[in-house]
Chain A
Amino acid sequence: MMAASQTADRLRLFGRILHMALTAVWAHRLRSSFVILGVALGIASLTIIVAAVDGAERKAYQIVDSFGPDAVFILGGDIRNRAVGQRTNTLSYEDVEVLRQSLPGAYRVVPMRAQHNLPVRFENQKMQVANIVGATAGYADVWNWPLSEGRDFSEEDILRGAKVCLIGDTPAQELFGDRSPVGRTIYIDKLPVQVIGRLSYRGFSGGGGSIDERIILPITTLTQRFNLDRKYFRALRVKFTSPENMDFHVENLTSLLRKLHNLTEGQPDDFSILTADEILKFLSMFKGGLLLFLGITAAVAILVGGFVLANLFYLSVDERKEEIGLKKALGAKNSAILLQVLAEAVTLTMIGSLFGMAIGMGMAQLLERLGILEILFSWKVFTYSTLSSVAIGILFGLRPARKAAAMVPIEVLKG
């Protein structure tokens, strides 16, 4: 009973002190607004950082997702230590056949060839398409890239070297506008091909150029009609049935290819294997760099906000020492004074944090519009901003608050 009424008394006192703090904050609006501004700038940069890092992470997962966790990508030549004059045309048709037949766990082996920057025409619309890619049956499946309409290549299309193609979103938009491209005939250079399917919009680039700017032809058609080397492929894509055994698959693949290429022990690989894991590693390095750079910026900005707060509160406590001394003379305990000053500080930093989040979101959206950053807003932004603003308030308000609480009434009340 006693304890309950004591708790009630404490809560009431807490509420009253909070009210005093709010009244004081409002009464000193000008000074308050400086603190709010200082903190808002710090929180704004924090908001941008959290949103940008989340955005980068989302992008990383999108890239990995489209790459597929169950796939590897084999490039001719060693991209890590590219020796001078080393051959990059090392992946042969024979390699593809052997991998198809004897690599355990692999259910698709797709050779890849590409032509770049060919003129493409439909009726009067003309454009240069950056990537003309050769592929085998089931392109959409192998690349986890759904078709928005039409159908994928069949085995027969590949065997016959059929004059059909899948069209990426960018050329589809440019050549056909709102019309459906499926069933129409376009000219790639001088070759007429029928569009049988349209790839869905992907919208993010894997570095340089739009990923949607592409047209896919059967690999046989590409090789025959555009006079490409028939023996070697630029790259191979292999899909496995069990993505959890990726390390094992990569090891198998490496030793099989080394054997096929007659490499002896000590000789470097003449091919490179990329997995989703490695892409993730690269992306997390990128994310780490972003975090470090933006993190330092935010830390500095928040520190500046904190020092603005600390200095203005020293000033405020000094200017209001009569008020503080009076309150102590009238029976306010040290803890009540400490609490009031801290409550004032935290109130200001929390208001600052709200403004900061608003500014940060605006800035982040601007950066995204300008294509500088990928942005993702989440509750994380709100949580981090609020927590760090409370932390700034307490951390930087504590010394002025202690100073206020330690004031001796008879020293500050003269006469």
Chain B
Amino acid sequence: MSVHPVIRLEEICKTFSLAEQSVDVLKGISLQIDPGEFIALLGTSGSGKSTLMHILGLLDRPTTGHYQLAGQDVSQLEDERLSELRNRMVGFIFQSFYLIPYISARQNVMLPGLYSSTPGRELKARAEKLLTLVGLSDRMDFKPGQLSGGQQQRVAIARALVNDPQVLLADEPTGQLDSKTSGEILDLLSDIHRQGRTVILVTHDQATANYAERKIFLDDGRITNS
């Protein structure tokens, strides 16, 4: 049975050079993620999990090694191509939401679609459908400042899905939320996973990681389990 992995990493290394000192942050990461998996990427701060997430999210390039996303080698693509692929294939959810404060929830959700070739009407319909899915059908015209933290993160989740990406990358999505709201957000991510989406949850917290099906532990730039 050969399902093509959505993500395949081979010997990924990342070295940062700071004032003639080079620091190896990732020291040979090899990893496969199949479509529809729910993965938790666990590690303490300094373990390299942020750097790995940046590479997975096409926000950074590995120094050496190969990264195949949906069958395409993306390890050393130029910025413009990476922008296009990020737009199409990756949905981001951040710890501090990063919503644009002066536009409505609906417009925030539409944002990634504005840089794609999706027609406006379709984009709006999709944004409204997703806002309904995350339970904010009655808050579409609210600005972020008028929403609670949990609601803001729901808007961000809807935004991450608007371009129908291959992979959903959530970086400490509950880091700024209370435990009850955190549970709701993680339940929502589980729902999205059950609908067939690949979800990667980056966290330092074991309890959060328990929502995932598979855990990958990162320590000092290496994967310590498999």
Contacts and interface: CB of A to CB of B under 8 A. Distances in A.
Interface string A18-29: 001001100110
Contacts of A415: 94-96, 171-172, 175
B167 to A, nearest CB: 14
How many of chain B's residues touch chain A, expressed as a range?
Answer: 20 to 34
Contacts of B59: 329, 409-410
B20 interface: no
Contact of A330 (B54, B60, B86, B120): B86
A13 B84 CA distance: 13
A327 interface: yes
Interface in B66-103: 79-80, 83-84, 86-88, 92, 94-96, 98, 100, 102-103
Interface string A314-355: 000000001100111111111010000000000000000000
Contact of A13 (B79, B100, B115, B159): B115
Contact of B83 (A24, A331, A410, A413): A331
Contacts of B80: 333-334
A20 B100 CA distance: 11
Contacts of A413: 94, 98
Contact of B103 (A23, A326, A330, A410): A23
A331 B87 contact: yes
A322 B98 contact: yes
A332 B102 contact: no
Contacts of A409: 59
Contacts of B188: none
A12 interface: yes
B45 to A, nearest CB: 11
Contacts of A327: 111, 115
Contacts of B115: 13, 16, 327, 330-333, 336
A330 B83 CA distance: 8
Nearest to B159: A330
B114 interface: yes
A278 interface: no
Nearest to B82: A331
A27 B102 contact: yes
B195 to A, nearest CB: 22
Interface of A: 9, 12-13, 16, 20, 23-24, 27-28, 322-323, 326-334, 336, 409-410, 413, 415
12 contacts: A12-B120, A16-B115, A16-B120, A322-B98, A327-B115, A329-B86, A330-B86, A331-B83, A331-B84, A331-B163, A409-B59, A415-B175
Interface of B: 54, 57, 59-60, 79-80, 83-84, 86-88, 92, 94-96, 98, 100, 102-103, 111-112, 114-117, 119-120, 159, 163, 171-172, 175
